[in-house]
Amino acid sequence: MNTHKKQQTIITVALTVLLTVSNFATPNNNPEIWKTMQKNFAIAPHPAINQEIQKQINWHIKHPEAITEMTENAQYYLAYVLEQTSKHNLPSELALIPFIESNYDPFAKSVKGAAGIWQLMPDMASANGLTINESIDDRRDITQSTQTALKHLKYLHNKLYRRWDYAIAAYNAGEGRVRKAIKQSKESQGKISWTSFLPEQTRKYLPKILALKTIINHNQKYQIQLPHISETPFFTEIPTKKPFAFTQISEKCKIDSDLLHKLNPRWKGHSTSHEKKNTISVPSNIAFSCRKKLRKTPLFNNRWAYHKISETDTLKNIAKFYDTTVASIKKYNFLNNPSEKVTHLIIRKESKSTPILSQDKNFAEKIIADDNFGPSPLTHTVKDGETIHSIAKQHQVKTGHIAYWNQLKYPYDLKKTKHLVIWKQQNKNTSYIRYIVQPGDSIYKIAKQHKTSIHKIKTASKLTDVNNIKPNQVLTIPQ
């Protein structure tokens, strides 16, 4: 064999090996998520709900397209949720709950105020350290909401006789309601199932989840196609040390803008917040390169600037300097959010147009939302003769919520309890703006200008000395 033919043979073999290795490395060759999920199914249905489970299966047989529609959002989040159930040694049926709660839509919200794929209520979210304000709703964050929901489900499982069917029902109806249903069933000496005493919505809740489980186990039998979803999480979180506009990340990392918002649903605007440490979720296959690009992003380039605010700055002057508009600066920097402490501004240079969140107006509205701030905690000192029921009535909250917030054991004896934490929703009519103190301003002048009181500004801005405000200081003004 001559030298030329030898080289051709070597190249051909090398290419064959390379292509073979590449094929095994593609996501499509990962075991499908449904097979992984089946391994950790662990909840046996109570005989009393078998009929309702079959009704739900029959519905899916008549509507085979429903599974495809349900997984449209789940393709981005399901693998992560399933991974977490496995990590916490939980049954994988729990990963099906967001299908029923929200169709795995992180922007979903209910008329009762629940939000995110797990439909967390404000009080439970705030009690678990999640932030809800004008710029952030951590209930929509996939990782934080999932950790909170799984923690709550474990709590319910431990409280309700370590039965997952009780825990899942309680996730929908509340611990107190399920406990009452169990008691009523016992009073009938077991002749009537505990499920019969649940609200109608909850009676169908667990069967819907277990119907999905049955279809996943026997999809060929029911002739329902399960969409391919890799078991590898679709997104990866990368750390950032400064805020970024989503448009900036989209341009830098070549990510579709709408997809970027879907992977980072906690933020309600055009950029990440001005927290010292943030994480941004991006598709896993580009996470390494994107992190590298963002780390090397200069503070200034031909399209963007990262402006440090000085004492003499005004938004009008900054906008003029960068050939942009005040409205654009406000949009990118959450300047109407009183919880944000802004020392730097993200500036889109030479841009007079108002930034848009998405070409899809409905999706843009979902991102912004109109939710209020989360509830605030107050401390209730328990007095002699008070019960959890009388305290709940006094504060207009549920007894089960008080028990959950304070980790009380049933039957909630308060004799050894001195203080209780109560989470109360803020006034829904209160809104805030940020005001940058100008040279010559006094607190009296600012209060008069905004038709509010000095006391309200002092409280909202957490001022210790109202007579010692300085130019360029940022105040929170209640409206």
Positions marked active-site? 101
User: What letters, b where the CB count within 10 A reaches 16 and e where it falls short, cover 386-400?
Assistant: eebeebbeebebbbb
Going from the C-alpha of 268 to that of each of 135, 147, 367, 449, the distances in angstroms are 5, 21, 5, 29
HSE-CB at 62 with a 13 A cutoff on CA atoms is: 6
Residue 198 DSSP symbol: S
Give the contacts of 416 (CB within 8 A, at least 6 positions apart): none
Q: Which two structure tokens, joined as six digits, stand for 452?
A: 């509010």
Distance CA 51, CA 182 (A): 20
- Residue 70 and residue 115 in contact, taking contact as beta carbons nearer than 8 Å: no
Peptide bond preceding 411 in cis form (omega within 30 of 0): yes
Distance CA 171, CA 284 (A): 31
Residue 399 DSSP symbol: H
Give the contacts of 25 (CB within 8 A, at least 6 positions apart): none
- Residue 271 and residue 246 in contact, taking contact as beta carbons nearer than 8 Å: yes
CA dihedral sign of residues 82, 84, 89, 93: negative
